[in-house]
Every structure is written in C-alpha cells, then in structure tokens.
Structure 1
Amino acid sequence: MLTGDTAELRKARGAYFTPSAVARFISAWAIRSANDAVLEPSCGEAVFLHEAGRDGRHKGALVGVELHDSSAAQAEQTLRAEGIDADIHVGDFFHHSQFGVYDAVIGNPPYVRYQDFSGESRVRARQAAFRAGVSLTNLASSWAAFTVHSALHLRAGGRLGLVLPAELLTVNYAAGVRQFLMDHFNDVGLVLFEERVFPGVLEEVVLLLADGYDPRGIAGTDHMTMWQVRDAAGLIDLAESRRWTPPSKSAKWSAGLMSASGLAAYDHALTGQGFTVLETWGDTTLGMVTGNNNFFTLAPAKARELRLQPTDLLRLSPPGSRHLRALTLTDAALDALGDAGQASLLFRPADEPSKAAWRYIKSGELLDVHQAYKCRVRSPWWRVPYLRPADLFLTYMNADTPRLASNRARAHHLNSVHGVYLRDDLRTDGLSLLPLASLNSVTLLGAETVGRAYGGGMLKIEPREADLLPVPSPAHVRAHRDALNRVRPTAVAHVRAGRLLEAVALVDDVLLTRGLGMAAAHLAAIRNDHADLTARRVARGKDSARGV
C-alpha cells in the first residue's frame, strides 16, 4: 500500500487492487502474442502490466493510464525494478477519446457507486459511452462507461479482459453495456465465482472475456460462454464451460448465476408448452399516483367524519401490498381492512364535488397539498388521473417473491402495486387460477432473474420486467384446473401463515411433477438455485445498507 493512501481514499476513487492470480489469468487469456500491444486503463499499481511482462519476453507496447499520481509513480517504479518496459500516463482515461489502439485491453475498472460518481467525472464518462452509442442513466456506476470506453481502444479482432462487478448481470442501467458487448464481440465469456475473491471487499465480481472486437458492430453474438469456479485458485484449470443465450442482447444475464443443472432444468421448463410469460395473459401497468397519499387516501371512518359522499370516493386497495399476500382481495376483505382503519377509499370526485368535498379540497390548499409536483401539473389539482380497476394486482416490492392477487373487490389501486389487465378470453381462468398457479418454483426462480435487488435486499419488479415473468401457460393452467382447486385451501392456509415454500410445494406437485413430468433432480436444482439467488439478493441488500 502507498504511504498515505488509505482504504477510505482507495474506496472513494473506486480502486480495488486485483489479486495476482486473477490478473495473471486475464493477462494470459487476452495476450496471444509477445508482440501484442496491451493497455491497462486505470492501472493503479499496474498488476496486469506486471503479469503481461513478468517473463521478460514481451516485445509489444505495454501502456497504462492512471488518474492517481502516487499509484502511477509506484507502478513506474516497480515495473522498472522488474525490468518491464512500460509507459504509464497520468491522467483521466475519459479525457482521451482515442488513446491509441491495442490488441488487448485488460484491467480492473474503478467501481464508484452512482451516489459518489458525480460532476465532471460523470459527464466525461457518459460522453465517452455515448460515443459508442451507449446511453447511460444517472444511476450508472463508473465501471459501466469504463467498460465501453476500454473497448473503443481495441483493434479489430482484439480482446477485452476485465474484472467487473456482478452488477453487469443484473442491473437495469447496464442494459446498454450488455447490448454493446454482444453487438461488438464475436464471443462473450464470463467467469463466475462461488466465493468472493477480493480480500476485505464484499462486492461480487465476474471476469469478462470478450473476444473478436468488431468496431462496426455488424457481427456480434447472441450467446455467451460461462465458467463457474469456487475462487481465484480455480482459474488454473477452468471447469467445463456452458453456453447460454439470453432472451435479448440487452436482457439481464442473471440466469448466468444459476448452476449448470438449474439453468438446464429451468430452460427446459420454459421451452415447453407448460410455461409462457405474464404478458401472454395480459398487460401490466403502474397504479395511480396521487401526489399525497395522506390527503387522498382515507379510512371509511374518516370519510364519514368529513361527510364525504359516495360520488366523492372510489373503493381502493389500501397503500402497500401486505394485504394482498393471500392471493385474492374480496369485498369482505376490503371491508374488514377499512373497518380496521386502513385507507380503503380514494378521494376522487368524478364530477362536481359535494359541499363536503369542497371543504376538504380547501383544507388541502391550506396545507399546500396542491403545491406538490403531481398535484401542481394537473387540472384540477385534486382529481387523480383515473385507472379502471385491474383484474389482478401484482406486488412489486417483495421480501420473498412477487405475488399475484385476484381483485374480486373491483378496487382501484395506487402505484404501490401494479395492475394486470387480463385478455378477454383469459379473464375467467386468470382471475380464478393464475395467482395460485404462479406460486411454483419455476416462476419463483424466474422472478429472481427478471426482477432486481433493491434497498434492504427487496426484490423489485417493474411492469416491463413483469411482462417477462415466466408463469404457467393458459393451456397448462386449464388442463390442471381441478387439481389446482383441490390444493387451493391448503395452499392459501400456508400462504396466510407465512409458509410460502410449503404452498409452492403443493403447486409444484400439480404443475411441475405431475403436469410436466419434471424429474425430482431437476426440480431440486431449480429450488436450490432459487434459494441461492434469493440469498445473494438479501446479502447484497445487507452489504448495501452497510455502505459496502
């Protein structure tokens, strides 16, 4: 470690120095000839250049770029001491739109979370990515732009070998990066680790091995090669690889985190007639946005106290989703929620408000409710944009897994849940059977791959992601209607008691074991992978909460 260069300072600039075994593996893979020109951007102490030149036989250019002057000076000193001829440039890699071209670009890009990645650094990074046609959102961490900009310094046919956060596989903001890699490389490989490989760092990483760079983005690939090893020692002899084709080039690569057996069983289930995606059943949409739930949502007792009229109010699924965990919302259940003091009414006069409603509107203006952004941009401010009642509700912030619930009460919903509007010919079966049928191990595993981890390890699923959620097909559900109805009472009892996996086991027996003839070993692999991905998500949530 450099004198005065603390762990806090390294973390602030996203510098996590790479274990030599990892750098040696990537260097050996990426460099095919002693004459290759090699670039290590954000080189730190140049561990990759050390590996590239360690045998003393490399003749091609070895070049590093490093923002931190002390690290650059240390790199120059140690390289010179080992007799390695390399050029280290001090400066911001993103300042150089064309910093030469190379046969191989290798390294460990800085990892700075979006909260700390700001100002000129963010602007330059986004501009660099945009030059390659990749538009990054403000949520993007530093490594995303760095990956794209690194590729732009390759010759045609070149290799890109990088240590990247496992976020590459899962986050929405990396969609453009995933698309870019598959558009511009003939082969994309990933090495996944079962254990964390950076001492003292809880961030999970993958190794990106992208071969055959095509600057024009004409060739590309639609699949990737994956290897899974326990730790850095496993890089000495990579296990058997597997090939995986994502649903689209920009789609999440979360399925790459599955075991080989789990992925094979999952893919086999999805390629048959038993499963489809939720979009087949209907359209998933966001709920209504009030601008101020405290004002617009009311318990029945409060509405009576204010003397509001039925024409001033709509029946509402209360904010949140805890009450939807039992697969259906009935009239009786909604009434019980209201009687218990929950906000089961929405203030939304359809036409002329009653006198009591006008008084309530005036009280809101005295409290500046009308100044909230969503209220301010609509006219009149107190009329929430209308959505007709959905057929199903879909929970979108989940500790365990997204749940579907039938809206038998024909209640309206806010944006704390999504609404699913079933297709006319599927409405009957969708209302009565889909919420139960979706409690199966394939759907649970699919939710972990299409959703994303959120604060505290919650699983968040947006409407576009929900469209891709694997669920039993209409034909499969119809074929097993009677068996599903037989297990319904027990399954619902399990769900109400918080025993989700016991309910899932009942549905699995109907739809997977008997319905699809799924072998016990295949079902076990799917369940194990679901447990592993859930554990990863929860662990990442805890790490994030600690600021790791």
Structure 2
Amino acid sequence: MSAEQIEDTAALRKARGAFFTPEEIARFISEWAVRSVSDKVLEPSCGEAAFLLAAAERLDRLTAETGQEFSGHLDGVELHAASAVSAESHVRMAGYETTIQTGDFFTVEPTSTYDAVIGNPPYVRYQDFSGESRRLSRAAALRAGVSLTALASSWASFTLHSAMFLRKGGRLGLVLPAELLSVNYAAGVRQFLMERFTRVDLVLFEERVFPGVLEEVVLLMADGFDDGGTDHCFVYQARSAADLEELLVARRWTPVNSADKWTPSLLPHAAFDAYTTLVSGDGFTDLEEWGDTTLGMVTGNNHYFALTDARVAELGIPRAELLPLSPPGSTHLRGLTFTTSAHEEMLRGGSAGWLFRPSNGEPSEAALAYIAAGDATGVSEAYKCRVRKPWWRVPLVPPADLLLTYMNADTPRLTTNRAGVHNLNSVHGIYLKTQHKTLGRDLLPLASLNSVTLLGAETVGRAYGGGMLKIEPREADRLPVPSAPTVMAAKKALSRLRPKVTRHLRSGRLLEATHLVDEVLLVGELGVRVTELREIREARAELTARRTARGIKQGGL
C-alpha cells in the first residue's frame, strides 16, 4: 500500500500534532492576511488546505472587486502524503494553481518571498517531540536567531521557521496554543515577534474553540516583517470562533520586556487597567525589592539526608551532626509564621525535620556507619552526590528570613522562618535586605495576602501538571507585593488583623483572609474603589479557573 493510500486516523493525526481548524478561524485569518490579487501565500502543515481554500475565497472577492486577475500563488507543505494530494486537489478545484510539497516543513529552506504565511502549526508536546524532528526544529529556530530549550513544544520552532518565509513587510497569521503567552520556553518567540514585526495582534477566546479539546488557543496576527519592531501588542477578545466578526475594540498592551510573559494580556479590560495602575504605582513593588529569592538545598536523596527523630535515635547520630530542617514538601507552610514549636510538633508527628550534615571535622562513629550504608546502597552514586566531595556533605544554604512555596494549588505563600530552619529545594528562601529585615519578617507574609498579589502570582507563575501554579526564583522576583512604605503605613492595622487572618488560614479559608487584608491595604491605605477591587478579584478567579481546567485534562490543539 502506498503512502497516499494509508488511512489517516485520529490517532495518527494526534501523533503528528494535526488538528482540524474551525472554518471561521481559517476565514478570519485569511481575510486579514490576503490583501492583493498578487499575494503569494504559504500554508505550512496544510493538512487538507483549510487556510489555502479560505485564501482562495478571499482572492475570488478581491478579483471581483478590482477586476484584476490573480497573479500570485498558493503553496503548501504537508507531512502526510495522502493529505498533501487531497490538499492540492481541493485548491485546484477552487480554480487556483498550487504547489503542495510533501515532507517535513523543517527540511524546507526558507525563501523569504511570501506575502503571507497562514495556518495552524502542529502541536506536539516536548515529551513526544524527539529525535530527528526535534533536531531539525531546533536548527530552524537557530536560523531565526532563537535558541529553544529542550522543553519547547513543536509550535514554537514552527512559528519561527514560518516567519522566515516572509518577504520584507509580510504577514504571519497562525493559530497557536495560549502557551505563547505564559510559558518560559516561549520567551524567545515572544521577543522575536516584537523585534521583527511592526505590529502584533492577539485574539483571545473566552470559550474553547476546538471541539473536545481543553487546550486554549490564541490567534497571532503579526504584520510588517523586518520593517521595524514594536514595543506593544493589540489584544482583542472574542467569546468564540463564531464571534470573530464582532471583535471588541483592541486594547493596547505593552509588556515591560518583550520576552516577559504575556499572561496579563488575558485580563479583562477593567481588571487590566486597575491592576496595571496599582502595580506600577508607589503602593506596590516587585518582591525583589524586598530581598533575594533563592533555591533551597539540593541533597541528591532527600530520603537519605532528611531524617525523623525516630531515625536519628535509631542511628545514634549526635545532635551536632544534624541541622533543623523544614521537612520536605510545603503543606506545613500555609500560615504566616513557621515557629520552633511548630517544627518540634512536626518532629513529634514523625516528619523528617533534621538534615544529616556532619561538620568539617571527623564524623562520629554513628555518622561513619551511616555514610558507609549510603555507599553500600548506592546513595553516593546519585548525580548530585557523586559530583561533590565528600558526597555526604550537602552544600549549606543559611536559614532564610522567609520561605516561599514553590508548587501551589491556590497561590504562592510567604511564611516567616522564626524557627530558623534550613530549607530544601521544595521551597524557596527569601533573604531580606538589611533595611527591610524587621518589617519584612513581621508583616510581609501578611501583607502579601491581598488580591493584587494573588492576581500577580497567576501572571508571573506558570501552570504545571495537575493545574498547579509553579513559581521559580526569577519569577518570584517579579511578584507584585506591597511596597515597604505601604506596609509601614498600614503596620498597626495589619498587626491587628493577624489573629483573624491566622484563624482563616488554619481553616483553609484563603479568600476570607485575603479579603480582610484587602480592606486594610487596598481600600483603606491605597484608596482602591470597590468596583476596581471586584474586577481584580474576578480576574484572579478567572485565571485560576483557566489554570486548574488545563490541569484536569492536558490536550492538544
């Protein structure tokens, strides 16, 4: 059986990242991108030519309006041979000459001759995107001047490679996953788009546009290739694909840095205005202004190095060879303060709250026996262990002033480290600047429980498996928190709130605690109007719902 005769099943389409585009979207992008009867148009990964056929309809209208004959060309590239044959047949039946190449788009050399490149790139997650295909895609991205990480899905390099087929002033219209806005690996793509196009438009949807698929999409329409860059985007909102003809007025949005996450562009107009006004004013600042956020200690084997009271007694290891440790995980860091008594209570409950860490002198006999056991069971061969000397001495990070949760079902939490414990890399440590140390330890965890900071966490962090919100140290640096002068001005009122907030947090009532802080900080101190506060809270709830929905089922386009 020839390649043209192999049946194209749903499973095969999913494996190569092919998903059929709703007709309304193909038509909308083609109407925007095709502007002249002389336009040369390319649809990479064309499937059965949904975008080329929409372009043909657009050209029919232009021909009728201008009285001029078509002098351009409609071309495509398609990996699946049978689909390529079908695509070429469909376009010819529409009355247009076409060339559909069969093969991997990344093997096609850019020609820099097309007026418009339009389509729906294949969406293959990095876990399934490997071997020769990944090598070719990364090479294509490098030709565009962007180095992608190993975590990049297929659409990222496809977008970059597509742009390189454009002539100067050309237009790129693609259906992309909303990951464009938020994932770290897309930073280079975001920067490329704003540096190489004079205008970047984004169309966002309130509803899912691909039937049966939870993945959100964004329409990218970038105009003026290599005619000068831009420092802003225009963002449109549509309820669904059927509503594209009735787009609201665009909102101009300027990221602080072109490579930064574009997640704030998801915010509704009113919420965006209220949020940006607050975080750009004197009342808020980045967490980095308070202090330095760092990774915790990496042991190489937490099960070996983090010990319970019972295990310490069994091994007979002296107290001098142990350090107090925030137990692995972060469920115990959901309050405002982690105290010595809380640490002791966790130890009594069987938590691993001691770090095995002999000093620089000769280890005790009990420690030497435990080290020998680690050698015998292969602990010493774990990567982080075998690259350090001696393997059993974990590089020490001093106790942080504050602890910041790393993986979160709701929102990142700041906790004052009154117990003076060391922390593993399951949480981050924050080392406050000298001038902020007292105020920060006393009140920053409390002050950070406000709706602006909660919304900011959704924009600077990123969704992870199961819908968790993950925040890395460099992302935490950008977390908007109340400024030191704001916290100082509200010091007495915040201090009075502490007992009530603590009770709410112990009962798992995060939003109730947040609303108390909002009344003191946002309304009382910064004068935020009730309507603005409502918009901010609703926007945070919407972004959280988007994140958790993606965690329920990870799908493709």
Q: TM-score range by the shorter chain?
A: over 0.9
- Residue 432 of structure 1 corresponds to 442
- Residue 481 of structure 1 corresponds to 491
Contact 2:112 2:167 in 1 (8 A): no
- Residue 306 of structure 1 corresponds to 315
Paired letter, 2:259? S
- Residue 345 of structure 2 corresponds to 336
Q: Does 1:92 find its partner at 2:104? A: yes
Give 1:99 shift: 3.6
Paired letter, 1:274? G
Q: Secondary structure at the match of 1:162?
A: strand
Report the more deviating stretch, 316-325 or 366-375: 366-375
One of 127, 145, 151 as aligned partner of 1:133: 145
One of 48, 72, 76 as aligned partner of 2:88: 76
One of 258, 267, 280 as aligned partner of 1:258: 267
- Residue 507 of structure 1 corresponds to 517
- Residue 167 of structure 1 corresponds to 179
Q: Distance in 2 between matches of 1:403 and 1:161?
A: 40
Give 1:98 shift: 2.1
One of 269, 284, 293 as aligned partner of 1:275: 284
Query: Share of identical aligned residues, percent?
Result: 62
CA deviation digits over 1:185-215, x for unaligned, max 9?
A: 1111100000011123222111001011117
User: Cα gap change, 1:401/1:231 in structure 2, threshold over 3 Å: closer, same or farther?
Assistant: same
CA deviation digits over 1:64-103, x for unaligned, max 9?
A: 1111111111111111222122221112211122245111
- Residue 482 of structure 2 corresponds to 472
Q: Secondary structure at the match of 1:483?
A: helix
Q: Secondary structure at the match of 1:155?
A: strand
Give ranges in structure 2 of 5+ residues lacking alignment.
64-69
One of 201, 218, 222 as aligned partner of 1:206: 218
1:357-376 alignment, distance < 5 Å: 357-376=367-386
Q: Secondary structure at the match of 1:383?
A: coil
- Residue 16 of structure 1 corresponds to 19
- Residue 66 of structure 2 corresponds to none
1:43-192 alignment, distance < 5 Å: 43-54=46-57, 55-56=59-60, 57=63, 58-192=70-204
Paired letter, 1:9? L
Paired letter, 2:441? L
- Residue 41 of structure 2 corresponds to 38
Give 1:436 shift: 0.5
One of 282, 288, 297 as aligned partner of 1:288: 297
Give 1:547 shift: 8.1
Contact 1:97 1:128 in 2 (8 A): no
Q: Secondary structure at the match of 2:326?
A: coil
Q: Secondary structure at the match of 2:478?
A: coil
Give 1:355 shift: 1.7
TM-score by length of 1: 0.97
Q: Name the Cα RMSD after superposition.
A: 1.3
One of 226, 231, 234 as aligned partner of 1:225: 234
Q: Secondary structure at the match of 2:171?
A: strand
Q: Does 1:415 find its partner at 2:418? A: no
Contact 1:484 1:507 in 2 (8 A): yes
Give 1:3 shift: 7.7
Q: Distance in 1 between matches of 2:378 and 2:16?
A: 42
Contact 1:50 1:84 in 2 (8 A): no
Q: Distance in 1 between matches of 2:30 and 2:291?
A: 49
Q: Secondary structure at the match of 2:127?
A: coil
Q: Secondary structure at the match of 1:370?
A: helix
One of 507, 522, 545 as aligned partner of 1:497: 507
Q: Secondary structure at the match of 1:322?
A: coil
Give 1:308 shift: 1.3
One of 525, 529, 545 as aligned partner of 1:519: 529
Contact 2:180 2:190 in 1 (8 A): yes
Q: Distance in 2 between matches of 1:168 and 1:105?
A: 18
User: Cα gap change, 1:245/1:419 in structure 2, threshold over 3 Å: closer, same or farther?
Assistant: same
Q: Distance in 1 between matches of 2:48 and 2:111?
A: 20
Q: Does 1:5 find its partner at 2:8? A: yes
CA deviation digits over 1:148-177, x for unaligned, max 9?
A: 011111111111110001110111110100
Report the more deviating stretch, 77-86 or 497-506: 77-86
CA deviation digits over 1:395-450, x for unaligned, max 9?
A: 01000000000000111010010000000010000000000000000000000011
Q: Distance in 1 between matches of 2:387 and 2:281?
A: 48
Q: Distance in 2 between matches of 1:202 and 1:399?
A: 19
Q: Secondary structure at the match of 2:549?
A: helix
CA deviation digits over 1:111-153, x for unaligned, max 9?
A: 1111111111110010000011101111111100000011111
- Residue 256 of structure 2 corresponds to 247
TM-score by length of 2: 0.96
Q: Secondary structure at the match of 2:42?
A: strand
Paired letter, 2:90? T
Contact 2:111 2:164 in 1 (8 A): no
User: Cα gap change, 1:407/1:467 in structure 2, threshold over 3 Å: closer, same or farther?
Assistant: same
Give 1:272 shift: 1.2
Q: Distance in 1 between matches of 2:96 and 2:240?
A: 29
Q: Secondary structure at the match of 2:146?
A: coil
Q: Secondary structure at the match of 2:485?
A: helix
Contact 2:111 2:166 in 1 (8 A): no
Q: Distance in 2 between matches of 1:341 and 1:247?
A: 47
| Residue-pair matches, total | 543
Q: Does 1:402 find its partner at 2:412? A: yes
Give ranges in structure 1 of 5+ residues lacking alignment.
none
Contact 2:325 2:353 in 1 (8 A): yes
Paired letter, 2:291? G
Give 1:19 shift: 1.2
User: Cα gap change, 1:547/1:105 in structure 2, threshold over 3 Å: closer, same or farther?
Assistant: closer
